[in-house]
A and B are shown apart, each in its own frame.
Chain A
Amino acid sequence: MTVETIISFLIFLMILGAVVAVELKDLLSSVVSIGAVGVILSLTFLLLQAPDLAIVQLVVEILALIILIRATVTRDSVNYSQREIFVKVVTMIGVVVFLISLVSIIKLLPPFGEPKLKVASYYITEGLGIKNNISETGAANIVSSIILDYRAYDTLGEATVLFCAVLGVLAVMRKVGRKNER
């Protein structure tokens, strides 16, 4: 079996999980099945030679699952209204049209497994010093050296996003919003 087949099969499993998560009536079950999709995603990252991402995806999935379960448990989970069938069909048609146009653009990309590596070749060849065994940043993990040296400015932004979201949660969760309500 080639890598491509295994990857396609795993993505197919993720699609199944996603459909189940979207269509189930019970909220808790759909939260759990989205957790399963996340775990398969982590596995896929591992097969795609991205161990950093596999670790991060796994732990983030656990955290997101805990938060979502705390939010849904003990709340009404079954009774909510459905859209009319007409809206569903129209959306479905729109989504399929979007898919077809996206497939036409996907065909122009380099095929799976053969990326162009124009800028990235610097990080994995020229950037590795004279003896070709250690990067010029001094780090063995090249992903680390990208996120904290070559593109550290992005990571500052990333940390700010998280900081901002925490502040946002604190701001939204204030017990009293205004001092003297009129």
Chain B
Amino acid sequence: MNNIIPLFVIIPLAGAFLNSLLGRFSKLFSDILSNIVCILTTFFSFVILFNLNLSPNNILTYRVGGWVAPIGIMLVVDHLSVLMLLTVNLVALCCCIYSISYMEKYTDKWKYYALFMIMLAGMNGVIITSDIFNMYVFLEIAAIASYALVAFGDESEKLEASFKYLVLGSVASAIILLSIALIYSYVSSLNLADISLTLSNMVDVNKVYFIKFISLLLIVGFGVKSALVPFHSWLPDAHQSAPAPISAMSSGVLIKTLGIYAMVRILFNIFGVGQKILSIIVILGLLSMFVGVILALYQWDYKRLLAYHSISQFGYIILGIGLATPLGILGGLFHLINHSVFKSLLFLTSGATESTLGTRDLRRMGELNKKMPLTTFSALIGSMSISGIPPFNGFWSKLIIIVACIQAKQYFAGFIATIVSFLTLSSFTKVLKYGFYGKSEVDHKNIKEVPDSMVVPMIILSLCCIFMGLLLLPQIRQYFLDNVVNVLQHGTIYATKVFELR
């Protein structure tokens, strides 16, 4: 059954190539094809979760081309990968359904779908690979597709945002490639598990210094990709300018896959982080959290506000993971999936309001609760989740992170996390008051609810927001989240396990 692992890349790539070959002749064809691709990948990620729970070592491997590990490329799926696969493909499915009617107003829809499929293939490729150069290649695929998608509207500010994103993204990729070259020269291997084992068996006094330096380089490289605070300047522009489903994808899953997943996988499972690196991660997390939310308070553009909140919520994830206690990692990873769900939901609602009202300015919106009840309902759920109101998923993950801070005696971090949570709440009160419930200055007579294909994904994601807290119940947790935490908690044992199974 390991044969389904490469399908996560093959199916979207086939979708992209067929879209490019045949989609230009029929719009209906590309709609149907892309949605089938997303449904298939989502289905297979559930299948692989069940397979993984049945397998003895909780790890599945696959040899591409039949070559054994350090010689060829190996694909590995463990619980952390499955968590990411599920999130990515579910959000991609929702965005793909949403695109059917949202992208009607743009020309050349097949190009959009082909790029979307390539981006999905790139993200899945990063998640399942176990080879550091292969990871770089797929990272570039996803990144290049997203550069093009940000510029898809062909207006001046979109091109500008895309160029900024391109320059910073390319510099980040260059730094990552530089560290790959250094690793290759030092270790003479490219397979992640092999690198880890060779490094731990190596007798060299300077080994610790080398690992620390490479870790720092990688934190800078992946930090730019995931927009941690000193490197965040491209994110608000890019997410504001992209079409709404692409903002939802890139804020929800793209930067998590390219940034946080890749960074955490290499630092925790391959190098094994030390205390100094962890404290750098925690500081970056706190900084992103605080600066992001402060900048968000000033915004009146709905999408730009959401983009700044993304930076701040990444801070929570990084903080939780950086604490490196079981509870902290649980909170960080749970917040990662929660954030994917509610941030995509909020970006989709912003797309809905933008396409009906033609503006993103909160001051020109308002009185939408009667005209667009379902969109307003989704925005309400999303806002309550992101600001941590009790029954919703955002509350649970934030609570776990704050408790983990206190448990790890990082009282200051816990304090900042609480403050940021309140600031988020106040910011989203503003959104709801001006954007959806308050009085409007503009005439909204001709406003109708958006088409069904845009409502359905929003409802699906809202339901996820409401019920995802259930994942924390001990009976469910032991099948899924606990295993995910174990992957990071056990650190470099990953390499030994993978190497046995190659």
Contact = CB atoms under 8 A, between A and B. Distances in A.
B145 A168 contact: yes
Nearest to B67: A150
Interface string B150-164: 011111000100100
B185 interface: yes
B48 interface: no
Contacts of A151: 72-73, 134
Interface stretch (A43-51, A56-64, A85-93, A113-121): A113-121
A150 B65 contact: yes
B182 A164 contact: no
23 contacts: A105-B209, A105-B213, A108-B186, A108-B204, A115-B185, A116-B187, A118-B70, A118-B188, A150-B67, A150-B72, A151-B72, A153-B64, A153-B65, A157-B134, A157-B138, A158-B137, A163-B16, A164-B144, A164-B145, A171-B151, A172-B148, A177-B107, A178-B107
Contacts of B153: 177-178
Nearest to A107: B206
A165 interface: yes
Given A119-B71, A122-B71, A167 B206 contact: no
Nearest to B216: A101
A171 B152 contact: yes
Interface stretch (B109-117, B250-258, B375-383): B109-117
Interface of B: 13, 16-17, 20, 64-65, 67, 70-73, 104-108, 111-112, 114-115, 118, 121-122, 125, 133-134, 137-138, 140-141, 144-145, 147-149, 151-155, 159, 162, 182, 185-191, 194, 198, 204, 206, 209-210, 213-214, 358
Interface string A97-110: 00001001100111
Contact of A160 (B121, B159, B186): B121
Nearest to A180: B105
Given A161-B137, A163-B118, A168 B148 contact: yes
In the complex, which range does the number of interface residues on chain A fall in? 35 or more
Contacts of B125: 157
Contacts of B187: 116, 118
Contact of A164 (B148, B154, B209, B210): B148
Nearest to B65: A152
A72 B137 CA distance: 30
Interface of A: 101, 104-105, 108-110, 115-120, 122-123, 127, 149-154, 156-158, 160-161, 163-165, 167-168, 170-172, 174, 176-180, 182
Q: Chain B CB within 10 Å — which of A101, A109, A168 has the most?
A: A168
Contacts of B133: 154
Q: Give the 10 A-B CB pairs with smallest separation, nearest first.
A: A177-B154, A168-B148, A118-B188, A116-B188, A157-B137, A153-B64, A171-B111, A119-B70, A109-B185, A164-B118
Contacts of B214: 105
B166 to A, nearest CB: 10
B20 A167 contact: yes
A108 B188 contact: no
A161 B105 contact: no
A171 B147 CA distance: 11
Given A105-B213, A172-B154, A154 B73 contact: yes
Contact of B108 (A108, A153, A160, A174): A174
Contact of B182 (A109, A153, A160): A109
Contacts of B154: 172, 174, 176-178
A50 to B, nearest CB: 15
